[in-house]
Amino acid sequence: MATFSEADRLLPTLDRHWYVDPAIFAAEQERIFARRWILAGRGSDVPAPGDYVTVEIAGESVIVMRTADGGLSAMLNICRHRGARILLEERGSCGRTIRCPYHAWSYSPDGELVGAPNLRDWVGDSRHELSLQRLSVRERYGCVWVNLDPGAASSEDDVEVQIAARLGAADRIDAWELDRLRTGRSIVYEIAANWKLIVENFMECYHCTTIHPELVAVIPEFRSGIASQAGGSGYGSAIGDKVDGFTVDGRAGLEPLPLVPEDDRRRYFGMTIVPGAFINLLGDHVIVHRLIPKAVDHTTLVCEWLFPPETLDSGADIEPTVELFDRVNQQDFDACERCQLGAASRAYAHENVLVPLEHHLLGFYDQVRAAVEA
Ligand code: FES
């Protein structure tokens, strides 16, 4: 029988400073979240012209608004007069103008200055240079992606490349028709843990047998500890032969998504879109996670369960489907919070270790280190 040294198979994690040092957190916000494409919600959050949401990206408040031509605009939520935050609600509708409540400067839905009390002539000359600071925005897969960096690579070179690497081809995801799916349930989780712990946890399944009894009952191969996204490009984890559906008790799920190939309908494809999104593809629904790092030890996570309109309109019971991953989320985030407590301990002086089933996390560590230490 072949033998190997266990020491050779245990690789170091990031050291504790990456999870507890506010200076590193600030650098990550500046060099990762302010430079990469960030999932900011669903296009259906802003269905009509003038509808908006405000979202936090890299500590900035960002307005995402539907424009008259059906497109999207994204702007910093900061008035160009004296810098007041303009919109305070999480969502709403502005109609034709965004109006600052302080001195009533007003802007068009794409951010151009269109009015300032007592300064009519002057506005005509200055409206371009005093527009709200516009950001790159793209609607793809029914999702809104925003980038704060004007010099960033395109979303095709970032988001699509990651999807292609995970699924084997970027267009494979099109079978799930994410742009036509609707949100059936949305849950916000407040997690007392660093955002990287949440990403790491999502990427590995070494913990699955221990903390996810419902999940391993539905996907028995997870008992091996091999995560869906550790199985190789294009790999989807199989739902058990004796299980009817991806539900909390394994009962039958919902009507299958019509374009998903037969071979993929009983598989689970989990994928991480670094830095802050997870997409989970199932045969009858899709789950999307969106991370919002708030502090070195606090992350807000929005999880949405997406279904085809015909499923929601039929009155089908989505609860057994939602409950499975809601339980998984809570189990995961409890574990992440325990890791955060450990990282804060003096005893965690240096790094911990990754077992072989977790070695693929090194690629994530490398991305974070390269960005922060560049
Ligand atoms: Fe907005 Fe003055 S700060 S109009």
pLDDT along the chain (374 residues), means of 10: 52 92 98 98 96 98 96 97 97 95 95 88 75 96 96 90 95 97 98 98 95 96 89 92 95 96 96 97 98 98 98 97 98 97 80 88 95 91
Q: 109 and 67 in contact (C-beta within 8 Å)? A: yes
Choose one of 81, 107, 126 to mutate for the ligand 1 pocket test, by most ligand atoms within 8 angstroms of C-beta: 81
Q: How far is Cα of residue 193 from the mean position of the Cα atoms in its chain?
A: 16
Distance 119 CA to ligand 1 centre (A): 13
**CA 29 to centroid of ligand 1, rounded, Å:** 27
Q: What is the pLDDT of residue 8?
A: 58
- Using the mean position of ligand 1's atoms as its centre, give its distance from the Cα of residue 31 in Å: 30
Give the Cα separation of 367 and 255 in Å (integer): 39
* Beta carbons within 8 Å of 113's beta carbon, 6+ residues apart: 80, 105, 106, 107, 123, 126, 127, 128, 130, 131, 132
**Residues ≥6 apart with Cβ < 8 Å to 260:** 175, 176, 281, 283
CA of 37 to the centre of ligand 1 (A): 29
Mutate to test the pocket of ligand 1, among 100, 119, 126 (most ligand atoms within 8 A of CB): 100
> Contact 39/277 with Cβ under 8 angstroms?
yes
Assigned token pair, 349: 């002086």
Query: So what's the pLDDT on residue 7?
Result: 43
Q: Is the CB of 117 under 6 A from ligand 1?
A: no
Q: Which atom of ligand 1 is nearest to the CA of 105?
A: 4
46-77 exposure pattern, b = at least 16 Cβ within 10 A, e = fewer: beebbbbbbbbbbbbbbbbbbeeeeebbbbbb
Q: What pLDDT score does 347 carry?
A: 75
How much is the pLDDT for 156? 87
Residue 103, ligand 1, Cβ within 6 A: yes
The answer to whether the CB of 99 is under 6 A from ligand 1 is: no
- Indicate if ligand 1 lies below 6 Å from the C-beta of 306: no
Which ligand 1 atom is at minimum distance from the Cα of 100?
Answer: 1
Cα dihedral 150/156/157/159 (nearest 10) = 90
Which residues make beta-bridge pairs with 38? 146
Q: Which of 86, 103, 106 to mutate to test the pocket of ligand 1 (most atoms within 8 A of CB)?
A: 103
Q: Alpha-carbon distance 44 to 53, whole Å?
A: 11
User: Residue 102: CB within 6 Å of ligand 1?
Assistant: yes
Ligand 1 close to Cβ of residue 81 (< 6 A): yes
